[in-house]
Structure 1
Amino acid sequence: MMSPTPLSLFCVLLICLPLAIVFTVVTPPATTIRSITSTSTSTSQTRTNPETRVIETTRITTTTISSSLPARPPSTTEDDDQMLFRRAAGVKPDPLLPKRLAFMFLTTTPLPFAPLWELFFNSTRAQEKLYNIYVHADPSFPYDPPFSGVFENRVIPESKPTRRHSPTLISAARRLLSHALLEDPSNSMFALLSSACIPLHSFDFTYEALVKSDKSFIEILKDEPGAWARWAARGERVMLPELPFEDFRIGSQFFVLTRKHARLVANETRLWSKFKLTCLRKNKNTCYPEEHYFPSLISMEDPRGCVPATLTHVDWRGRHDGHPRTYGVSEVGPKLILALRKDVPRYGVNVDGTNGSHSSMRKRGDPFLFARKFSPDSIATLVRIANDVIFKD
């Protein structure tokens, strides 16, 4: 046999070298991942601190998994909401009989007063199923204990994260209204409540007070201190031309709307195009969109269709931090409940643009139906006095 010449060996090398390179490049990365996992395991076994071991394993696992996931698609929150709102705006304007009340809870925490509300909803006429419950629960927060009893399975699937000083609280309220409109054509009045709210009367009293009304109850205040700074929170002329300063209103974010106004809110886009804009960072302390959007909208579109007052009692006296007074457990008792009941709502702007606080509006005698804020540790006292005080009208 002839021995290979230098030329033939050089040819063989030219052929084999590219194959070796290709094989190395296309080797599956699974081997690399397994080696990382193996290294992590062997390394963790030499450590004596269990916290360090958990952190190391988590770091490796997270890196490996995230590298194989596809890129997150763009957020469709706005599109999803607009589709929901358009569907809700198309429901029939008149409620079916019997009329029902929609209780809408906006929360980022478990409902600390659920036991009291349970008693409220399980009383006399409430058994006729004259109500519906809806909960908007920010999915970025834990809920332990979970919602149960009358609140079980009542969290609306459209719930999304909410944040103070942002338009997300407007969107959350609009989602609740829209879901309630779509779910039950008997929903007649729509009450927005917080997790810190309690009822001040029995269900029967509350039902009769609301169902007999053909008007919404929403606080609408004009020329409040600091109003211009709130209007200009996004920039001095940003709200124009959709919302001139003379049409800007302020009021409590907690309201009771008629079915007509619930549909109006679901269908609205003009003011929302301004209120959805982010406030300037320097104006954070004047940015409360949820206290401006609804009062301004109802005042501009249908001032004769509302009573310009909220039926949720709150005490702002002496507060300057954006949070109302919280009643502690030592303050809660029959005396406080009766005092809150006797108080008179603050009536805002009349149809003619004048302040209604000292006019015939005060003769209406509208009762406060709800109150806030109460400390969670007062629940035992509230439950104890429920039947003899709160539900005794």
Structure 2
Amino acid sequence: MEDAKDAAAAQGQRGRAFPTGLLRVFLGFLLLGVGLSAGGMYLARRAVAAPTLFQPCLWKTAAAAEAEVEEPGDEGLERWTRPPARASHAMTDEELLWRASFAPRARGYPFRRVPKVAFMFLAHGPLPLAQLWERFFRGNEGRYSIYLHTMPAYRANFSSDSVFYQRQIPSKVVEWGQMSMCDAERRLLANALLDISNEWFVLVSESCIPLFDFNSTYQYFQNSNQSFVMSIDDPGRDGRGRYNPNMSPEVELEQWRKGWQWFEVDRELAIAIIKDTIYYPKFKEFCRPGCYPDEHYFHTMLTIEAPHKLANRTATWVDWSRAGPNSAHPAMFGRGDITKEFLKEVREGETCLYNNQNTTMCYLFARKFAPSALEPLLELAPTVLGFG
């Protein structure tokens, strides 16, 4: 019986010991949880106080991911001087203008820089005279850049061996006679400024043709001490008659200028145009039909800011003689108009000043030419225009 009592006592002690062990295990897990919670709170505070070291991939946009892909040599100056591979990008107009306004402050370039001419095509859609331009550019790679602004719905379909391949920039709707025309021109300038080698910026249309070979055109811009922006003080109805007194004090009546839309500017003036926040709001609000911003905005602003840099003439020829006194558009030339004598007259028919010297080489481009003019232009280009 004593043995039975001892066995029963021992069994009771083992029954009471079991819950105590379980409690110890439970307390261990509890302490571990409290430790993890405290550690989490500490890391959370650190995340607020310091920059995050890791970010989920889902937070990155495609543009950001592409920007992080570096190429060989990106650790040096090349990453800042290499032009964009394509004209397309995902920047808004506001971002584009801000980015394009960057300009070096130090004189000179600490790398080999070949100055280029940026040809900015402002077009509705297709370029019917592209074949002529292809011949003009041939053999001059590295001395030019091309930018194409069209209506947004148009998708250029140039082959990979064309100079126009992938040169279409992000575009918006342009309405004739509206400030959107100047917006498109500023958009073209801003895209061209992203290439630090672009030194001269020429605005042309799909109906423009080159009148001289590329080398002559290049040297004309390179050796000129002024830019070719027509800026005149017209006292008549279509000049000062379009001035709105609400533009004062930024623009006074005696500062109001008029000129043709098609221009050439150097890099300094191009930057002045795209970074302008003084004159642009005034023209956008107060230059409305029948005030046409593309005939007044750049011309007035540049005359106020840099009058000594303007030749006060355009480098693009047009003919208003056929249009009539009240026409809004110059004459159009087709197949039947294209002769050797006609082209020679356009190239040499006037006298103007170039670096304060008289010259008959006043125009480097001409408009407006219909698609039907392409064939005879291609035939005469080698002997009359000097290329092809």
Determine if the TM-score, normalized by the shorter chain, exceeds 0.5.
yes
Shift of 1:392: 5.7
TM-score with structure 1 length normalisation?
0.69
Q: Which of 303, 320, 344 is the matching residue for 1:316?
A: 320
Within 2, Cα distance between the matches of 1:85 and 1:260?
Answer: 15
Within 1, Cα distance between the matches of 2:157 and 2:243?
Answer: 39
**Which whole-Å deviations, capped at 9, do the CAs of 1:292-316 have from their partners, x for residues lacking one?**
0111111100111121110001111
Shift of 1:83: 2.5
Give 1:32's aligned residue.
Answer: none
Does the CA-based 8 Å contact 1:135-1:155 persist in structure 2?
Answer: yes
Question: Aligned residues: percent identity?
Answer: 35
Within 1, Cα distance between the matches of 2:178 and 2:256?
Answer: 17
Within 1, Cα distance between the matches of 2:351 and 2:177?
Answer: 26
CA separation of 1:311/1:180 partners in 2, compared to 1, >3 Å: closer, same or farther? Answer: same
Does the CA-based 8 Å contact 1:85-1:267 persist in structure 2?
Answer: yes
**Which whole-Å deviations, capped at 9, do the CAs of 1:196-233 have from their partners, x for residues lacking one?**
1000000111111111223211101112532133223x
Question: 3-state SS of the aligned residue for 1:193?
Answer: strand
Q: Which of 335, 339, 342 is the matching residue for 1:333?
A: 339
Q: Which of 211, 233, 256 is the matching residue for 2:222?
A: 211
Give 2:365's aligned residue.
Answer: 370
Within 1, Cα distance between the matches of 2:361 and 2:229?
Answer: 12
Quick one: which amino acid aligns to residue 138 of structure 2? Answer: N
TM-score with structure 2 length normalisation?
0.69
Shift of 1:273: 0.7
Quick one: which amino acid aligns to residue 388 of structure 1? Answer: T
CA separation of 1:265/1:374 partners in 2, compared to 1, >3 Å: closer, same or farther? Answer: same
CA separation of 1:187/1:249 partners in 2, compared to 1, >3 Å: closer, same or farther? Answer: same
Q: Which of 274, 283, 286 is the matching residue for 1:275?
A: 283
More relative contact order, 1 or 2 (CA 8 Å, 6+ apart): 1
Q: Which runs of 5+ in 1 are unaligned?
A: 1-78, 348-355
**Which whole-Å deviations, capped at 9, do the CAs of 1:318-370 have from their partners, x for residues lacking one?**
532210111121011211111011133677xxxxxxxx9xxx95725553100
1:128-277 counterparts in 2 under 5 A? 129-140=142-153, 142=154, 146-148=157-159, 149-157=162-170, 159-182=171-194, 184-226=195-237, 227-232=239-244, 237-277=245-285
Question: 3-state SS of the aligned residue for 2:358?
Answer: helix
**Which whole-Å deviations, capped at 9, do the CAs of 1:75-112 have from their partners, x for residues lacking one?**
xxxx9323321221113376762111100000112011
**Which whole-Å deviations, capped at 9, do the CAs of 1:237-279 have from their partners, x for residues lacking one?**
2222211111010011111101110111111111101111265
**Which whole-Å deviations, capped at 9, do the CAs of 1:130-156 have from their partners, x for residues lacking one?**
10001111214x45x734411110011
Does the CA-based 8 Å contact 2:149-2:168 persist in structure 1?
Answer: yes
CA separation of 1:112/1:97 partners in 2, compared to 1, >3 Å: closer, same or farther? Answer: same
Q: Which of 115, 137, 141 is the matching residue for 1:99?
A: 115
Number of matched pairs:
289
Structure whose alpha-carbon radius of gyration is higher: 2
Question: 3-state SS of the aligned residue for 2:335?
Answer: coil
